[in-house]
Structure 1
Amino acid sequence: MEHSQPDNDWTHSHVFNEGNPLAQKNTTRAVILTTVMMVVEIVGGYTFNSMALLADGWHMSSHALALGLSVLAYVFARRFANDSRFAFGTWKIEVLAGYTSALLLVLVAGSMLFQSVERLLSPGPIYYDQAIALAFIGLVVNIVCAWLLKDGHGHSHDTHGHADHGHDQDLNLRAAYVHVIADAATSVLAIVALIAGKFWGASWLDPVMGIVGAILVAVWAYGLLRDSGRVLLDAEMNTPVVGEIRQIIESSPMKAAISDLHVWRVSKGKFACIVGLVTDEDTSPTYFRNALSKHDELAHVTIEINRLTPDHNGGTS
């Protein structure tokens, strides 16, 4: 039996994410720079016996991996954008990459903490001049990478005057940016520790700065895990758009009560929602869909109408 196809007026695309080709290009550049500097710092850290420099190099290796993961996420999200297996598009591939990058940051923090404590208990000689030079080069590389990725770090504001803090960003690019900023911070800490050790004999400051860096990385990782995890788990019912949906329905001349409401994110700053309504008015889903259409962030709206009858038995339209 042949199935009839719906009219084109009733069908629509589920590709909500337009992609970010500039971010992909800049992230690729950052991967190359980070990988080269990673090799230099690891070799230099072992050669010159600097824990701060070695920790910076090793955790830069995870950053290089995370940045590479970000690039792959952009590639796969674009490649499978029109794949019908993805009910609401492929944007969450990028979010998943951001979450995975945050997990790598946690591992980085743990590794930095372990190695720094070990070196604090068993100190060794440090070749300060060479280590300081490499740390400065690493910082310059990190600054360049941060500049390449900076556009994805700012918070977006929607057209209705409110900002959903941290969620209207490209979370994949934000993850890459956080990795680079973590690198820059540990480079600064390494430079401070090495200079203090060279001029004031505070060799203990080298591993202590490694511990401080581990704490900073862990804090940034937590923030990224929280934001990307919330999107992956569809924990979006506390976002401002949910209140706006309720307000529009409750203030509508066509009286209806919300019996069911689900809102989740399908792209950067874009949401899908399912709204179940109970009413005794003679209305249609189209009426309420049009009422909600003024909110551009609602990219996919499904309305269900349950009509009250005199005996309170509902029907669905």
Structure 2
Amino acid sequence: MSEVHQHSHRAVRSKNLLFSIVLNIVITISQVIGGVLSGSLALLSDALHNFSDVISLVVSFFANKIAKKKASLNKTFGFKRAEIMAAFINSATLIIVAILLIIEAAERFQHPQKIESFLVIILSSVAIIGNGLSVLLLKKDSAHNMNMRSAYLHLITDMLASIAVLLGGLLIKYYQIYWIDSVLTLAIALYLIYVGYDLLKDSFKMLMLFTPDNVAVEELVEKINALKDVKSIHHIHIWQLNELETHLEAHIDFTRDLKVSEFESILTIIKQILHDDYEINHVTLQPEFDKSDDKNIIVQD
């Protein structure tokens, strides 16, 4: 049995998350007060989304901290999947919040209410500035970390929602179009579902240890089987531990009884193929010769 490790870790800045948490708590409280006083459902819905931002940022913050803990005898992988769990939870809350907003928008559309547009305009402007700053703080880390991307999506959708609320406030102030409040709420909700679904799907696939989308298993098998002295690679498992580590474990049957040094030479070639073509950076292979086991590519354990 041989293992190969080839991965790097990127540092995520927790202080940016912490600052965004404080900022969004302030925004949420101000929007709740303003929404109640103004009667604006869009402003209250934006406050609810901001509150979900606070929860998602707190989840992301602690997941980021926990993920850095070292492995131990009873936790051999450490907490490397904590951030994937956070991404799944955060994307799920995006969709739940969106469904609640759709229900509220439908009820309010049937019974439009007069709205104090001045408060809506002021508080939505404050939210745009606050969320815009948070988005800038998390943008860099969101490019390579699913957990940070889930928090970033919460913030950027809330910034866009606040822009929609501001536009609604202006239309109400100058044209008295009160039903626009419900329409904008519905638009915000549909957008939340749109951006949340992909992240929910990706994090779910990772948690379920599905084969990554960029790995064509049959093609991979053909490339390995074409190598000298390799009879077949089979009993394959491929999964992502997190965004930085993709694992492959398999049995590999040889045409002759190799020396350990010969196996190591072939293993180096295999490792390079897997890394360069499929971004697999953690390889465990069980060498075999003249063994009568199941030679199928996929074997249900």
Instruction: Output the TM-score relative to the length of structure 2.
Output: 0.86
State the Cα deviation string for residues 56-94 of structure 1 (Å, max 9, x = none).
Answer: 011211110111000010111123x22233333422111
2:96 to 107, 119, 137: 107
Matched, 1:44 2:34: yes
The Cα shift of 1:313 comes to 4.1
The Cα shift of 1:298 comes to 3.4
Matches within 5 A, 1:166-185: 169-185=144-160
2:166 corresponds in structure 1 to 191
Matched, 1:84 2:73: yes
State the AA in 2 paired with 1:135: S
1:303 to 285, 291, 299: 285
C-alpha RMSD over aligned residues: 2.5
Matched, 1:240 2:215: yes
Matched, 1:272 2:263: no
State the Cα deviation string for residues 97-148 of structure 1 (Å, max 9, x = none).
Answer: 1101111112211221122222212222111112101111101111101001
Q: How many residues align?
A: 286
The Cα shift of 1:280 comes to 2.1
Matches within 5 A, 1:153-168: 153-154=142-143
1:281 to 249, 256, 263: 256
Matched, 1:291 2:291: no
Looking at structure 2, the residues matched to 227 and 281 of structure 1 have their Cα atoms a distance apart, in angstroms, of 41
State the AA in 1 paired with 2:75: F
2:56 to 66, 79, 87: 66
Structure 2 CA distance for partners of 1:92 and 1:100, relative to 1, 3 Å: same
CA contact (8 A) 1:237 1:262 kept: no
1:227 corresponds in structure 2 to 202
Matched, 1:121 2:119: no
- 5+ unaligned residues in a row in structure 2: which ranges? 295-301
State the AA in 2 paired with 1:120: F
CA contact (8 A) 2:230 2:252 kept: no
The Cα shift of 1:254 comes to 2.0
2:297 corresponds in structure 1 to none
Looking at structure 1, the residues matched to 189 and 33 of structure 2 have their Cα atoms a distance apart, in angstroms, of 21
**Secondary structure of 1:52 counterpart:** helix
Looking at structure 1, the residues matched to 165 and 77 of structure 2 have their Cα atoms a distance apart, in angstroms, of 45
1:30 to 17, 20, 24: 20
Matched, 1:140 2:103: no
CA contact (8 A) 1:108 1:214 kept: yes
More displaced, 100-109 or 295-304? 295-304
Structure 2 CA distance for partners of 1:44 and 1:253, relative to 1, 3 Å: same
The Cα shift of 1:15 comes to 11
Looking at structure 2, the residues matched to 19 and 75 of structure 1 have their Cα atoms a distance apart, in angstroms, of 14
The Cα shift of 1:219 comes to 1.4
Percent of aligned pairs sharing the same letter? 23
Looking at structure 1, the residues matched to 204 and 8 of structure 2 have their Cα atoms a distance apart, in angstroms, of 19
- 5+ unaligned residues in a row in structure 1: which ranges? 1-9, 155-168
Looking at structure 2, the residues matched to 84 and 16 of structure 1 have their Cα atoms a distance apart, in angstroms, of 22
State the AA in 2 paired with 1:256: K
CA contact (8 A) 1:17 1:91 kept: no
2:11 corresponds in structure 1 to 20
CA contact (8 A) 1:16 1:88 kept: no
**Secondary structure of 1:267 counterpart:** coil
More displaced, 26-35 or 240-249? 240-249
Looking at structure 1, the residues matched to 271 and 6 of structure 2 have their Cα atoms a distance apart, in angstroms, of 18
1:165 corresponds in structure 2 to none
2:226 corresponds in structure 1 to 251
Looking at structure 2, the residues matched to 37 and 262 of structure 1 have their Cα atoms a distance apart, in angstroms, of 46
CA contact (8 A) 2:117 2:170 kept: yes
Looking at structure 2, the residues matched to 17 and 232 of structure 1 have their Cα atoms a distance apart, in angstroms, of 21
Looking at structure 1, the residues matched to 7 and 242 of structure 2 have their Cα atoms a distance apart, in angstroms, of 6
State the AA in 2 paired with 1:230: K
Looking at structure 1, the residues matched to 77 and 267 of structure 2 have their Cα atoms a distance apart, in angstroms, of 19
The Cα shift of 1:205 comes to 0.5
**Secondary structure of 2:227 counterpart:** coil
